[in-house]
Amino acid sequence: MLEAQALHKRYGDTEALRGVSLTVRPGEMFGFVGANGAGKTTTMRIVMGVLEADSGELSWQGQPLTYETRRGFGYMPEERGLYQKMKVAEQVDYFGRLHGMSRPAAKSATDELVERLGLTERRDDTVDSLSLGNQQRVQLAVALVHRPTVLILDEPFSGLDPIAVDALAEALAERCAAGVPVIFSSHQLELVDRLCDSVGIISAGRMVAGGPVEEVRAREGRRLLKVVVRDATPGWADGLPGEVSTENGRHVLLAPDGDDQAILRAAVQAGTVEHFGWQQPTLTEIFREAVA
């Protein structure tokens, strides 16, 4: 697995990272979330060897990261690193050769990825003629062409339409299914919630929450009892914990605590209960609380 322990990085008077640690296991998709300037990109660049940490340790499969180890990693930077006048297939093949692939192996991998990522009709177009979404697909193909042992992507879904998001998400899921650890940063917490096995929330250079998504929900956020009642008697929730709102003519009670059976009895007496159950907080709610 990929591990970072107690990473520190300072730029002059600015402490960009303050003891950042994370662990990503084989076949796991790890969502790295935080506000702009929180330290996500700095952490990823240190893992890739683009930057050097002031202190801390990095390891892959229990061994320190080296130049040779990183040659097997796939990296997709937030700032696109594509040759604008080069054709799509030619570009993916070129990066495969840079990774040391033979000409036949690079061509085979390129053909597979161009088809897999829906770029067949654009394979002979130059990058500067592509939409943002298709440029993202080419950048992902470049990161995948050498069949990386670890995949690290900085804001890969930024600016994409839903169809492009689904295509990229499916490609990443396939890599995970093959045992590859995948790390991606994103501001789109609903995507992280939907796609990721684990999450790390970073704020001002510190990891403020992290772990398997369900564990983070259970540990970091308060669960709420949600009750939806149709044709409810006015004032039925007076004296009960929580707050009542109205949605489409139905009364919705959200209660952080209390006797759930007593609440259920009151709801049944008040009207028709359409929903009754405990719900975990969303990652968006946890993020807001964690960085506050």
The Cα–Cα gap between 147 and 133 comes to 22
Tell me the per-residue pLDDT of 6-26, one tens digit each, with 9 for 90 and over: 999 999 999 999 999 999 999
Same domain, 129 and 207: yes
Find the CATH number of the domain harbouring 52.
Answer: 3.40.50.300
Closest CA to 200 of 22, 16, 8, 59: 22
Tell me the per-residue pLDDT of 247-281, one tens digit each, with 9 for 90 and over: 888 999 999 877 899 999 999 999 999 999 988 88
Per the model's pLDDT, the better-predicted residue between 221 and 105 turns out to be: 105
pTM of model > 0.85: no
Mean of per-residue pLDDT scores for the chain: 91
The letter for the amino acid at 150 is V
170, two tokens: 């499916």
Same domain, 240 and 168: no
Name the domain boundary from 192, 219, 246. 219
Tell me the per-residue pLDDT of 39-91, one tens digit each, with 9 for 90 and over: 999 999 999 999 999 999 999 999 999 999 999 999 998 877 899 999 999 99
Tell me the per-residue pLDDT of 207-232, one tens digit each, with 9 for 90 and over: 998 999 888 887 766 788 999 999 99
The Cα–Cα gap between 282 and 221 comes to 8
Q: Exposure of 34 by Cβ count < 10 A (0-12 exposed, 13-18 middle, 19+ buried)?
A: buried
Same domain, 236 and 119: no
Name the domain boundary from 169, 194, 219. 219
Q: What residues form DSSP beta bridges with 229?
A: 251, 273
Same domain, 188 and 241: no
Same domain, 168 and 286: no
**pLDDT of 221:** 66
Total domains in the chain come to: 2
Same domain, 160 and 251: no
Same domain, 197 and 55: yes
98, two tokens: 């840079």
The Cα–Cα gap between 280 and 139 comes to 36
| Backbone φ, ψ for residue 17 (5° rounding) | -125, 135
Name the domain boundary from 203, 219, 235. 219
Same domain, 113 and 190: yes
Q: Which residues span the domain enclosing 156?
A: 2-219
**pLDDT of 136:** 87
Same domain, 149 and 240: no
